[in-house]
């Protein structure tokens, strides 16, 4: 009994020590906009948005990044983020950081991006101001999701490709959170409604062929270079 108590005590101390180390690391790496290196309009920011959808995206894309947006430097120097969350909006970077999980962010920049190209991307992003969020990640422009906004801003503005267009079948969707998200939304999925598809199995085959751009595919794109990250080893 005494031996078991000693083992339990050692285990408890180890858990407490590990927890304290994690808490200390989180505190030491918590960031605000003032702590960041100089940013530029057109920089791309990534974070984990949390929640059930965030977990589904994280598992499907095999990446900690579940939300993304574009940096815009205001005339007074304040860094802002243009993001698609329903509606497409612009908020201060500090607020954007606070909205993410544990204030973790990664910032990347298109290599060799000119000021004119950056302004073109931001101007294009703002043409979507007020658009609702696309919960189906459908390839349309009547609603838009976060990584679609970033991808479209660069492609439709300065004609720069960031990210990779993938099919849903190519993602890691064989997990409970991702499958549950699909099952919760399929009945109102626009392509299935348009075809009069009334069964999940039939609609699922349509969903598998849908194309999309994930935050992870943008973060991994070779055209980008790292500016800052406090994700640690979990980041790309």
Q: Could you give the CA distance from residue 61 to residue 181 in angstroms, rounded to a whole number?
A: 14
Contacts of 130 (CB under 8 A, 6+ apart): 87, 88, 89
Strand-pair category, 166-167 with 79-84 = unpaired
Burial of 71 (0-12, 13-18, 19+ CB in 10 A): buried
Output the average pLDDT for the chain. Answer: 89
Residues in a beta bridge with 159 = none
Mean pLDDT over residues 20-46, rounded?
76
Mean pLDDT over residues 7-29, rounded?
47
Lowest-confidence pick of 29-38, 84-93, 122-131, 205-214: 29-38
Name the CATH superfamily for 37-234.
endopeptidase domain like (from Nostoc punctiforme) (3.90.1720.10)
Count, residues in the chain: 236
Burial of 147 (0-12, 13-18, 19+ CB in 10 A): buried
Q: Is residue 17 over pLDDT 60?
A: no
Strand-pair category, 67-73 with 79-84 = antiparallel
Q: Where are the alpha helices (DSSP H) in the chain?
A: 2-29, 51-61, 93-99, 115-126, 146-156, 176-185, 190-194, 200-208, 215-219
Q: Could you give the CA distance from residue 198 to residue 200 in angstroms, rounded to a whole number?
A: 7
Helix/strand/coil for 90: strand
User: Tens of pLDDT along 51-67?
Assistant: 999 999 999 999 999 99
Q: How confident is the model at residue 13 (pLDDT cuts 50, 70, 90)?
A: very low
User: Tens of pLDDT along 121-151?
Assistant: 999 999 999 999 999 998 887 899 999 999 9
User: Tens of pLDDT along 153-184?
Assistant: 999 999 999 999 999 999 999 999 999 999 99
Q: How confident is the model at residue 5 (pLDDT cuts 50, 70, 90)?
A: low
Q: Is residue 18 over pLDDT 60?
A: no
Q: What percent of the chain has pLDDT over 70?
A: 86
**Domain extents for the chain?**
1-30, 37-234
What pLDDT shows up at residue 223? 96
Burial of 140 (0-12, 13-18, 19+ CB in 10 A): exposed
Look up residue 35 and give its DSSP letter.
G
Q: Could you give the CA distance from residue 131 to residue 6 in angstroms, rounded to a whole number?
A: 60
Q: For the chain, what is the total number of helices (H) and then of strands (E)? A: 9, 8
CA dihedral 46, 77, 109, 120 (to 10 degrees): 100
Look up residue 31 and give its DSSP letter.
-
């Amino acid at each position: 009994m005494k031996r078991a108590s000693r083992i339990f005590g050692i285990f408890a101390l180890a858990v407490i020590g590990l927890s304290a180390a994690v808490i200390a690391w989180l505190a030491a790496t918590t960031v605000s906009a003032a702590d960041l290196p100089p940013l530029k309009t057109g920089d791309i920011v990534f974070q984990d948005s949390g929640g059930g959808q965030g977990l589904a995206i994280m598992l499907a894309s095999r990446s900690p990044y579940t939300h993304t947006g574009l940096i815009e430097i205001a005339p007074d120097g304040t860094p802002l983020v243009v993001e698609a969350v329903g509606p497409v909006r612009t908020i201060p970077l500090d607020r954007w950081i606070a909205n993410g999980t544990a204030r973790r962010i990664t910032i990347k920049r298109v290599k060799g991006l000119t000021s004119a190209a950056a302004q073109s991307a931001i101007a294009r992003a703002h043409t979507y101001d007020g658009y609702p969020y696309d919960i189906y990640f459908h390839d349309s422009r009547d609603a838009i999701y976060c990584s679609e906004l970033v991808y479209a801003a660069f492609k439709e503005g300065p004609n720069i490709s960031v990210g990779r267009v993938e099919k849903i079948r190519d993602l890691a969707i064989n997990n409970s959170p991702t499958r549950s998200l699909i099952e919760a939304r399929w009945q109102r999925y626009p392509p299935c409604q348009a075809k009069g598809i009334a069964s999940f199995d039939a609609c699922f085959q349509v969903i598998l062929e849908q194309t999309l751009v994930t935050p992870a595919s943008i973060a991994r794109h070779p055209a980008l270079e790292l500016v800052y990250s406090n994700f640690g080893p979990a980041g790309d």
